[in-house]
C-alpha cells in the first residue's frame, strides 16, 4: 500500500502574529513554527495504516526551505519518504501562492511521483490549515486527480479494495465508502499523535529529501494587504468572597435574565 500525506508549515498555535510594516506578510522574526494540527493527525494516521497493512508512506509539503523541519518531524515518527516543493518566502518565485496555485503545484508533483513510482492508494490532507483555514487545497487536488474525496474525517478503515471513512455530524455519524485510490481530509481527534523518540529523530536525519520544483499556474486571487484585528481586552470582576458574594450573584443573574 502507498499512502501520501500532505502537510504545511504554520506558526505555532497560540503565538502572537505580527504583520510586516508593508502589510504584505507575517513577521516571522520571533515566531516558532510547527506542523498544522490536523495534519499532525494525518501523519500519525498514515504511519498507523502502513504499520497495519504494510507498504510505504510519503510526506509532501509546499513551502520555504525551512519546511524541511516539518518533513523531518514526519520522518521521525515513521514516514518513509519526504518531498519538498520549495518556494521562496520573499516572493521571488512570482505571484501569490493562493489555494488555486498551491493545489495545482501539488497535483502536478503527485502526478510526476506516481508516473515514476506508481499510484498512491490514499492521499491524506488536514481538514484545513491552521493559518489560513481555507479548506480548499485538498478538495482541489482531489478534483485535479479525478479521485473521490471527503473532508472532516475522524475514522479510517481499509478493506475490500476500498476505504470506509467516518465523519461526525450534528445528527450523529456519517460513513462514506470510497473506492481506492481516494483522498481524505483528516480532522484533529482522529488519533493521538505519538511523540518522536530519540531513535526516530536520529533516523529522520538519514531519510532522503526529494526536492521537486513546483510548477503551479498563478491563480486568480491576489493579496492586497494583511489586516491584523484589534486585540480585545477583558477584565475580571470579583463579586465578593464567601456568603457575602451571594447578593451580588443574584443581582447578576437577574441582570442576565436568568431569574424570573
Q: What is the pLDDT of residues 134-154, one digit of tens each?
A: 778 999 999 999 999 999 999
Q: Tell me the residue range of the domain where 86 lies.
A: 2-232
**Number of independent structural domains in the chain:** 1
* Pairing label, strands 56-63, 81-86: parallel
Q: How confident is the model at residue 95 (pLDDT cuts 50, 70, 90)?
A: low
Q: Is residue 52 part of a domain?
A: yes
Strand-pairing partners, residue 168, are 173
Q: Is residue 154 part of a domain?
A: yes
Q: How confident is the model at residue 9 (pLDDT cuts 50, 70, 90)?
A: confident
Q: How confident is the model at residue 91 (pLDDT cuts 50, 70, 90)?
A: very low
Q: Is residue 163 part of a domain?
A: yes
Q: Is residue 257 part of a domain?
A: no
**Which tens digit of pLDDT belongs to each residue from 164-216?**
999 998 888 999 999 999 999 999 989 999 998 999 999 999 998 999 888 86
**Which tens digit of pLDDT belongs to each residue from 26-75?**
777 777 788 888 999 999 999 999 999 999 999 999 988 889 999 999 99
Q: Is residue 258 part of a domain?
A: no
This prediction has a pTM of 0.81
CB neighbour list of residue 64: distance below 8 Å, 6 or more residues apart: 9, 86, 87, 88, 89
Counting residues of the chain whose pLDDT is more than 70, the rounded percentage is 95
Q: Is residue 62 part of a domain?
A: yes
- Residue 148 near residue 183, CB atoms below 8 Å: yes
Q: Tell me, what CATH number does 202's domain have?
A: 3.40.50.620
Helix axes 137-145, 99-117, angle to 10 degrees: 40
In the predicted model, what is the mean pLDDT of residues 232-239? Answer: 80
Rounded-to-integer distance, Cα 50 and Cα 144, Å = 25
Q: Is residue 209 part of a domain?
A: yes
Amino acid at each position: 500500500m502507498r499512502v501520501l500525506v500532505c502537510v504545511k508549515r504554520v506558526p505555532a498555535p497560540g503565538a502572537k502574529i505580527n504583520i510586516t510594516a508593508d502589510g504584505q506578510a507575517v513577521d516571522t522574526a520571533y515566531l516558532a513554527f510547527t506542523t498544522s494540527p490536523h495534519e499532525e493527525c494525518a501523519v500519525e494516521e498514515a504511519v498507523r495504516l502502513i504499520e497495519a497493512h504494510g507498504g510505504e508512506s510519503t510526506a509532501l509539503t509546499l513551502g520555504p526551505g525551512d519546511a524541511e523541519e516539518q518533513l523531518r518531524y514526519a520522518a521521525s515518527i515513521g514516514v518513509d519518504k519526504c518531498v519538498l516543493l520549495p518556494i521562496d518566502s520573499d516572493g521571488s518565485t512570482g505571484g501569490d501562492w493562493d489555494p488555486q496555485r498551491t493545489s495545482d503545484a501539488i497535483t502536478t508533483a503527485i502526478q510526476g511521483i506516481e508516473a515514476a513510482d506508481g499510484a498512491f492508494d490514499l492521499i491524506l490532507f488536514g481538514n484545513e490549515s491552521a493559518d489560513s483555514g481555507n479548506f480548499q487545497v485538498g478538495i482541489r487536488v482531489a478534483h485535479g486527480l479525478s479521485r473521490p474525496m471527503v473532508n472532516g474525517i475522524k475514522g479510517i478503515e481499509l478493506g475490500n479494495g476500498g476505504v470506509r471513512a467516518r465523519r461526525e455530524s450534528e445528527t450523529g455519524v456519517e460513513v462514506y465508502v470510497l473506492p481506492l485510490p481516494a483522498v481524505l481530509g483528516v480532522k484533529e481527534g482522529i488519533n493521538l499523535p505519538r511523540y518522536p523518540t530519540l531513535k526516530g529523530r536520529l533516523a529522520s536525519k538519514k531519510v532522503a529529501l526529494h526536492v521537486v520544483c513546483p510548477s503551479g499556474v498563478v491563480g486568480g486571487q491576489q493579496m492586497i494587504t494583511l489586516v491584523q484585528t484589534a486585540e480585545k481586552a477583558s477584565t475580571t470582576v470579583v463579586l465578593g468572597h464567601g456568603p457575602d458574594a451571594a447578593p451580588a450573584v443574584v443581582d447578576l443573574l437577574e441582570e442576565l435574565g436568568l431569574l424570573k
